[in-house]
């Protein structure tokens, strides 16, 4: 579990995150959503310790990363896996070498054991047989899956995903979302996803934190989002007329006003 | 950013490199990889430049020594001392600042922009120690070897050019090489080389590691690192000559 306690962060006198508190639960997909510039990336960097918050603290299973020394952070980071927006695969290494890198660095497994582990995680992300390919030779969706494989190869307790669907087509996005959701449940991890992809929000959002102008505007699950009356959230989530219509339809359906196809035709006229 | 900010960040980067390696075997592997990248891959250009440097120095020295009162062995003495004291260490390192420096800056810059450095940080790896330290150590190991190679080939190039152009026969050239040889000059040349090796690896590493923005900035950082390295090499050249000669 990750607890965020009153964190604030600013740059050059401008506040980017303003007194945000939240609890990110284990075994759930916790989504941080918000428009560009709302502070979600800074928030994620504060969570993983790449930025120091100006105030407040972040607790990993009760231990504050903010007050940890460098050695403590190193230990903690070995329990963290991260999928980057651009996958951040090492260009000079093959898929297998990329996934094996954390094992080489932090474990004393022999080569055979490492190969077995790598093949196991590659099979888990449906990339069997791609071992010898270089990042330049594989598609964006495959790169993301290699990124996930590398992130989970050490069985981390915490998984962070920064814009996992950026640059992917809707179908591949769904595959990635499904994979993140399955892995979270399977490994019992605390997963934090930074996204503004609405499909992800509705598909995997067990716990959603909506950031607006640096503060936490709303928090709830993907089931609550449809019925939320928060104006800023609605403006963000249902930005297009199409999505607004879909939401209205869903609400009417929930209120029992649409029961048959004929009702639906009447409504959409 | 002013000079002091850059200097402070540079010192912090150097300080940050010193930590216990997470896995000694991988650090060793990276060091060997960098020795290959910096050393072996630069051999071709070093060979070509040093042979021609020696050849040109021989021909031009002979052109300037018009009086028959000066023995021809002096040509070899001048070529030898020029190559050992200045041309092999300084000129070869200026060339390496371009070849190796731009490669280091663009490699690290690309890793920074594509979040590969962040990925290593998140894994709990000291990126300064893992990415920069092996490059500096490799440069300190292989650049002196390249300079010694350049000096030998430069002197040999002078001999070949002198023979082919009929300026002086190889036997006289060999006699000249042994005349008034001062072993301290080799120590001085190597002292300069170690200083330059540190400059041509650490300055590009600094600019590459701290790239911000996009691919355009990688090119800028690469160019800037070569310019700054060359200027620092020339400053160090003068300072060491004033101090050690």
Could you tell me the residue ranges of all domains in chain A?
A: 2-233, 238-269
Chain segment A19-58, per-residue pLDDT in tens: 999 999 888 899 999 888 888 888 888 888 888 899 999 9
pLDDT of A256 > 90? The answer is: no
pLDDT for residue A261: 64
B12 touches chain A (CB under 8 A): no
Q: Are B122 and A48 in contact (CB under 8 A)?
A: yes
* Radius of gyration over every alpha carbon of chain B, rounded to an integer in angstroms: 21
Pair type for strands A55-60 and A158-162: unpaired
Q: Would you give the distance in Å from CA A269 to the centre of its chain?
A: 39
> Residue A254's pLDDT band (boundaries 50, 70, 90)?
low
Q: How many H-runs (helices) and E-runs (strands) does chain A carry?
A: 11, 10
pLDDT for residue A128: 86
Optimal mutation site among A105, A136, A153, A163, interface B, most CBs of chain B within 10 A: A105
Strand, coil or helix: B180: coil
> Residue A241's pLDDT band (boundaries 50, 70, 90)?
low
Chain segment A101-154, per-residue pLDDT in tens: 999 999 889 999 999 999 999 998 888 888 999 999 999 889 989 999 999 999
CA distance linking residue A189 with residue A24, whole number of Å: 11
> Residue A259's pLDDT band (boundaries 50, 70, 90)?
low
Chain segment B73-114, per-residue pLDDT in tens: 999 999 999 999 999 999 999 999 999 999 999 999 999 999
The number of beta carbons lying within 10 Å of the beta carbon of residue B95 is: 20
Q: Between chains, do A77 and B123 touch, taking CB under 8 Å as contact?
A: yes
For every residue of B20-86, which 3-state class applies, written as one string? Answer: CCCCHHHHHHHHHHHHHHHCHHHHHHHHHHHHHHHHHHHHHHHHHCCCCCCCCHHHHHHHHHHHHHH
CA distance linking residue A174 with residue B187, whole number of Å: 65
pLDDT of A249 > 70? The answer is: no
A167 to chain B, closest Cα gap in Å: 15
Optimal mutation site among A88, A107, A194, interface B, most CBs of chain B within 10 A: A88
pLDDT of A242 > 80? The answer is: no
CA distance linking residue A98 with residue B119, whole number of Å: 11
Q: For B234, which DSSP code?
A: H
Q: Which residue in the set A48, A88, A104 is minimally distant from B115, CB to CB? A: A88
Q: Between chains, do B119 and A84 touch, taking CB under 8 Å as contact?
A: yes
* Radius of gyration over every alpha carbon of chain A, rounded to an integer in angstroms: 20
Chain segment B160-172, per-residue pLDDT in tens: 999 999 989 999 9
Q: Between chains, do B23 and A106 touch, taking CB under 8 Å as contact?
A: yes
Mean predicted lDDT score pLDDT of chain B = 94
User: Least CA distance to B114: which residue of chain A?
Assistant: A88
A2-233 has which CATH code?
3.40.50.300
The alpha helices in chain B, defined as continuous H runs, are 3-16, 24-38, 43-64, 73-82, 92-113, 116-122, 127, 133-164, 170-178, 184-209, 215-244
B positions 100-119 inside 8 Å of A (CB): 110, 114-116, 118-119
Could you tell me the residue ranges of all domains in chain B?
A: 44-244
Structure token pair of residue A262: 């004929």
A86 to chain B, closest Cα gap in Å: 7
CA distance linking residue A90 with residue B117, whole number of Å: 9
DSSP A63-76: EESTT--HHHHHHH
């Amino acid at each position: 579990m990750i607890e965020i306690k009153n964190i604030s962060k600013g740059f050059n006198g401008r506040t980017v995150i303003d007194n945000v508190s939240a609890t990110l639960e284990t075994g759930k997909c916790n989504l941080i959503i918000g428009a560009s510039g709302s502070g979600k990336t800074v928030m994620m960097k504060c969570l993983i310790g790449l930025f120091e918050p100006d105030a407040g603290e972040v607790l990993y299973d009760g231990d504050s990363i903010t007050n940890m020394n460098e050695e403590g952070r190193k230990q903690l980071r070995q329990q963290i896996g991260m999928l980057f927006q651009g996958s951040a695969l090492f260009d000079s290494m093959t898929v297998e070498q990329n996934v094996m890198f954390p094992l080489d660095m932090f474990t004393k497994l022999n080569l055979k054991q490492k190969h077995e582990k790598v093949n196991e995680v590659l099979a888990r992300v449906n990339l069997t047989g791609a071992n010898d390919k270089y990042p330049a030779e594989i598609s964006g969706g495959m790169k993301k899956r290699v990124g996930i494989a590398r992130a989970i190869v050490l069985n981390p307790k915490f998984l962070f995903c920064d814009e996992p669907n950026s640059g992917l087509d809707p179908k591949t996005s769904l595959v990635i979302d499904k994979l993140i959701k399955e892995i979270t449940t399977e490994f019992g991890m605390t997963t934090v996803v930074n996204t503004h992809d609405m499909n992800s929000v509705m598909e995997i959002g067990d716990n959603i934190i909506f950031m607006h102008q640096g503060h936490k505007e709303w928090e709830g699950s993907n089931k609550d989002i449809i019925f939320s009356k928060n104006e800023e959230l609605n403006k963000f989530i249902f930005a297009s007329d199409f999505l607004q219509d879909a939401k209205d339809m869903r609400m009417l359906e929930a209120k029992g006003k649409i029961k048959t196809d004929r009702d639906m035709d009447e409504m959409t006229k | 950013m002013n000079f002091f900010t850059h200097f402070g960040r540079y010192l912090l980067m150097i300080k940050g490199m010193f930590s216990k390696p997470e896995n000694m075997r991988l650090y060793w592997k990276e060091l060997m990889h960098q020795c290959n990248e910096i050393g072996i891959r630069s051999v071709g250009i070093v060979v070509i430049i040093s042979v021609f440097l020696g050849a040109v120095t021989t021909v031009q020295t002979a052109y300037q020594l018009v009086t028959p009162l000066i023995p021809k062995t002096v040509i070899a003495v001048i070529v030898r001392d020029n190559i050992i004291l200045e041309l092999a260490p300084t000129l070869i390192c200026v060339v390496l600042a371009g070849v190796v420096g731009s490669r280091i800056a663009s490699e690290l810059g690309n890793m920074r922009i594509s979040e590969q450095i962040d990925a290593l940080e998140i894994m709990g790896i000291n990126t300064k120690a893992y990415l920069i330290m092996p490059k500096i150590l490799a440069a300190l190991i292989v650049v002196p070897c390249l300079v010694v190679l350049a000096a030998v080939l430069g002197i040999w190039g002078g001999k070949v050019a002198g023979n082919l152009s009929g300026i002086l026969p190889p036997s006289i050239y060999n006699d000249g090489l042994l005349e008034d040889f001062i072993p301290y000059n080799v120590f001085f040349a190597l002292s300069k080389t170690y200083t330059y090796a540190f400059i041509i690896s650490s300055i590009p590493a600094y600019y590459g590691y701290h790239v911000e923005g996009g691919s355009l900035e990688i090119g800028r950082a690469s160019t800037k690192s070569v310019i700054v390295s060359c200027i620092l090499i020339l400053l160090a050249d003068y300072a060491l000559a004033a101090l050690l000669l």
